[in-house]
Amino acid sequence: MATSSGKTSTPTPPASKRPLAKDPSSEVPSKKKSSAAPPLSLSGHFVEGSIVRILMENFLTYDICEVCPGPHLNMIIGANGTGKSSIVCAICLGLAGKPAFMGRADKVGFFVKRGCSKGMVEIELFRSSGNLIITREIDVAKNQSFWFINKKSTTQKVVEEQVAALNIQVGNLCQFLPQDKVGEFAKLSKIELLEATEKSIGPPEMHQYHCELKNFREKEKQLETSCKEKTEYLEKMVQRNERYKQDVERFYERKRHLDLIEMLEAKRPWVEYENVRQEYEEVKSARDRVKDEVRKLKDGQIPITRRIEEIEMQRHNLEAQIKAKATDIKETSQKCKQKQDVIERKDKHIEELQQALTVKQNAELDRQRRISNTRKMIEDLQNELRTTENCVNLQPQIDDITNDLRRVQDEKESCESEIIDKLKERETLEKEKKSVNDQIVQFDNLLNQKEDKLRQRYRDTYDAVLWLRNNRDKFKQGVYEPIMLMINMKDNKNAKYIENHIPSNDLRAFVFESQEDMEIFLKEVRDNKKLRVNAVIAPRNSYADRAPSRSLNELKQYGFFSYLRELFDAPAPVMSYLCSQYHIHEVPVGTERTRERIERVIQETRLKQMYTAEEKYVVKTSFYSNKVISSNTSLKVAQFLTVTVDLEQRRHLEEHLKEINRKLQAVESGLIALREKSKHLEHKDNELRQRKKELLERKNKKRQLEQKISSKLGSLKLMEQDTCNLEEEERKANTKIKEINVQKAKLVTELTNLIKICTSLHIQKVDLVLQNTTVISEKNKLESDYMAASSQLRVKEQHFIELDENRQRLLQKCKELMRRARQVCNLGAEQTVPQEYQTQVPNIPNGHSSSPPMAFQDLPNTLDEIDALLTEERSRASCFTGLNPTVVEEYTKREEEIEQLTEELKIKKVELDKYRESISQVKERWLNPLKELVEKINEKFSNFFSSMQCAGEVDLHIENEEDYDKYGIRIRVKFRSSTQLHELTPHHQSGGERSVSTMLYLMALQELNRCPFRVVDEINQLLQNLPYSEKMTVLFVYNGPHMLEPNRWNLKAFQRRRRRITFTQPSQ
């Protein structure tokens, strides 16, 4: 870091650090002790805003440290990690800089030393009226800052105003370049570099002029656009009004035609009224004539109505007589029907007697036939019984077959019992097989989840896994899929420790046991398939079973419960690689209790790495002071290893499944043999049963024949006893039939008399019906004549109604037309037409009288002529298209708007000329000094590069002279003679070349600098041979447990010892 201000120097007090008391029981110092001791410098003067003193308490690496820079060039020198950049952070934060600008952290609380709740930075700035002391106290818990100026409480805004008044810009990379922002300087655009340079070394008004120019240019563009738009709009308005001028003339021509149309439309209702009135008179006369005809028709219908009523009474009497005769005929017919029913029942009784006799005759014939057949059957059975052999000797054979059958059935039952047992065993095995398969599927689903995560995050690695599974035969030794698939967590809660310990590149790496196999794999996958994959080789000597250096029992007192290796399972080569590469057998995992006593754990266990519940701790020993330094990071959430699969259990399940399949095959083989045996026994059982059946039939045949003969003889005896006397039955039947025929003859005589009476009644009824028919015929003729007259009457009445409705409609139409005609002439309902506008006054049906105005007499008097003239005038008016009554009004308004726009345009042009004049004046005051400033920077920058045998230029980059927001500073450099000048960018030059270019540009700004100081951190190029000057102030930063206490440091005593040593040295 280098700071400079002014030309002279003043004596510089030593920088010091005052650490807190050290814990004597701790082997690792709990506080850092350091000092920054500058040599004695010449006296000089500080400029306004120079840093006189920096005090830090509990800030980053410091407990207490006070630094006093000199008034000129300050060099802070020290080993890495001693706290040089911490001083830069203190300057930035102490002068109201943003924490994020340092690139270290975005919260100010992170800059307080670890383990402390508060920190403080105090900066003293030189000011001729009295030094300005700015104090910033930082509260870690609240992440807040408390500000003080000269020990008085204030706000950050007031501090920022005081700092800005001294032209200090900690946010400007040209003035303040911290360690983590060196690379960003090269990323500054040309525009940003120009703005930073203006603020840093330009006059105070230069950047202000630049901002004014950009604002003026923006307003100038807006005015130019506005003037252009208004000019174009004005031209369009003038052109449109020129076109509308002809439209106005056409409008008045059209209006003359419309006036004539209005007169015609005014006369037309009067003509329509007269036509309708005449039609009304005609309809009224026709209605009166039809009314007389209706009255005459009604008078002619009265005699016909009276005759019809007389005939109707006569018809009613005849119909009553006919009805009485019909009742008598019905009663007589009912008696005849009864007699006929009795006769039919007698006939049916005779028929039943005859049928019963016939049945008895047939039954006797059938009995004789059955007796004959039974005798024949008895004879056949007796013959067969005589020929039947003696079956006494068949019983031993039947007993032997029965014993054989019993033995076969026992064997058959035993076989079926064994089959049932085998089926039950097979069912049990199949259920067990299904359960095992389900468990294996669950394990496979979990494995698929891990593979899905691999596919989503690392598609190339997933494709390589698929290729490996299909090509394992190409490898000689073991090849293992990515470590994240091989690792199986015993408890997925511990997955976060493994994922935070093993980098993702190795988690997705394939593990090989042979170098040759790995080269084959990479050639196929990387070279041929262009897949981005990682591969590693397992150690030749296995590390998988190596014991940790310390027993876990020793560490349990600190809250440790396991080493990383014991948290998961993996194949031996994979585990061996992880043990050798990441020492997972040496890294313990603790709990929240471990974190609570972490200081004691670090001090007593000397572990290099460890895990607590939510943090990872890494412990190192300082190269400079042998002090133990620890760092901790929060654990990230696990993403890949949260899925837990017990591979050993899955292997046991697969072996169990194979055993179940083997047992199932054995059971199936046993079932097949038992079913064959059962089938054979069933066949043998059927044969024995058939043989036994045949022997039993032979044995029982004689007994059956004897039983049949005895049965048939009994039946024959019963049939012979059941006899019938057919002659006696015939005699009884004939006697009954004669009695019934006598009764039937008597009934026929009575029926004949009833039929004669019924015939006489029918003749009388027919005579009455003929008389009634004559009467009805006469009535129908009269009614027909009446209906004809009524029909004619209805037609006339309908005609009358239509004529009356038409009369009413025409009357209403006359009234409506009269109202419309009066409305057209602007006359009220009761207002009379003035005499000078009247002609002959016609009679109006509604009682009013009026006439069309005399102004209408020159116009046509018929509707056809009026309509023809209206059509002609409308056609002429329609030729004037695109016109409306507002065209003249719009034309007038547009003329006024044109005049107003012309005036506004003049005002805008005057305003635009004023802005252009202002731009010209400000541009001259800004651009010329800026060009001179850039030329001076370029001269010094080029000289610096020439001294290194390189080339560099700085120029003002202008894309468009009028676009002031596009102006920028361009830096072009070349470090080799064989190349051309190239613009300084974050990509073209190397990191060292960018650092050199940045440093030389800042040096070029140095002599032109108007800011109190400039800070550059971590710029080492070109400083190796920097000559020492008496005006320089060199601050050496030391730290370590053997440093002198700051309160014991005495500069004067040190100088006396130095002089004494110098004087006592022998001359050369």
Do 148 and 137 form a contact (C-beta atoms < 8 A)?
A: yes
**pLDDT tens digits along 842-895:** 333 333 333 444 456 667 778 788 788 878 777 777 777 766 667 777 777 878
Non-local (6+) Cβ contacts of 177 within 8 A are 185, 998, 1002, 1015, 1016, 1017, 1019
Please give the sequence-ordered ranges of beta strands (E in DSSP) within 286-325, or none if there are none.
Answer: none
> Is residue 563 within a helix (H) or strand (E), and if so which, with residue range?
strand 562-563
Residues in the chain: 1068
Provide the token pair at 727.
Answer: 């002659």
pLDDT (0 to 100) of residue 1047 = 65
pLDDT (0 to 100) of residue 184 = 62
pLDDT (0 to 100) of residue 1019 = 60
Task: Please tell me whether residue 629 adopts helix, strand or coil conformation.
Answer: strand
Please give the sequence-ordered ranges of beta strands (E in DSSP) within 602-746, or none if there are none.
Answer: 609-611, 615-621, 628-634
Which residues pair with residue 1033 across a beta bridge?
74
Please choose, from the candidates 1038, 1034, 1063, 1059, the residue with its C-alpha nearest in 3D space to the C-alpha of residue 1049. Answer: 1038
What amino acid occupies position 974? K
Cα angle: 540, vertex 545, 551; to 5 degrees = 140
CB atoms within 10 A of CB 170: 20
Burial 1007-1025 (b: 16+ CB within 10 A, else e): eebebbbbbbbebeeeeee
pLDDT (0 to 100) of residue 930 = 81
* Helix-helix angle 863-878:204-300, to 10 degrees: 170
What amino acid occupies position 962? E
Please choose, from the candidates 643, 645, 651, 646, the residue with its C-alpha nearest in 3D space to the C-alpha of residue 449. Answer: 643
Q: Residue 26 CA to chain centroid, in angstroms?
A: 59
Do 856 and 267 form a contact (C-beta atoms < 8 A)?
A: yes
949 torsion bin: left (phi>0), alpha (psi -120 to 50), beta (else): left
Please say whether the dihedral angle defined by the alpha carbons of residues 976, 981, 987 and 991, taken in this order, is positive or negative.
Answer: positive
CB atoms within 10 A of CB 850: 20
Alpha carbons 530 and 527: distance in angstroms, whole number: 5
Listed as own residue / partner, the contacts of 784-791 with beta carbons closer than 8 Å and 24 or more positions apart are 785/304, 786/301, 786/304, 786/305, 786/308, 789/297, 789/300, 789/301, 789/304, 790/301
Non-local (6+) Cβ contacts of 1041 within 8 A are 22, 29, 33, 625, 626, 627
Q: Rg for the chain (alpha carbons), in Å? A: 67
CB atoms within 10 A of CB 838: 15
Do 91 and 25 form a contact (C-beta atoms < 8 A)?
A: no
What spatial distance separates the first Cα and last Cα of the chain, rounded to whole Å? 38
The backbone torsions φ and ψ at residue 971, rounded to the nearest 5 degrees and listed phi first, read: -110, 125
Do 998 and 1019 form a contact (C-beta atoms < 8 A)?
A: yes
Do 191 and 966 form a contact (C-beta atoms < 8 A)?
A: yes
The backbone torsions φ and ψ at residue 980, rounded to the nearest 5 degrees and listed phi first, read: -95, 170
Alpha carbons 488 and 571: distance in angstroms, whole number: 10
Task: Please tell me whether residue 121 adopts helix, strand or coil conformation.
Answer: strand
Q: Residue 610 CA to chain centroid, in angstroms?
A: 43
Do 532 and 460 form a contact (C-beta atoms < 8 A)?
A: yes
- DSSP label of 1018: S
Measure the CA dihedral 876/877/881/887, to 10°. Answer: 150
Do 391 and 701 form a contact (C-beta atoms < 8 A)?
A: yes
* Helix-helix angle 190-201:204-300, to 10 degrees: 130
SS (H, E, C) 837-877: HCCCCCCCCCCCCCCCCHHHCCCCCCHHHHHHHHHHHHHHH
Please give the sequence-ordered ranges of beta strands (E in DSSP) within 79-205, or none if there are none.
Answer: 118-125, 132-139, 144-149, 152-154, 176-177
Please give the sequence-ordered ranges of beta strands (E in DSSP) within 702-752, or none if there are none.
Answer: none
The backbone torsions φ and ψ at residue 693, rounded to the nearest 5 degrees and listed phi first, read: -65, -40
Do 716 and 375 form a contact (C-beta atoms < 8 A)?
A: yes
Name residues of the chain where pLDDT drops below 50.
Answer: 1-43, 834-854, 1067-1068
Q: Please tell me the pTM assigned to this model.
A: 0.36
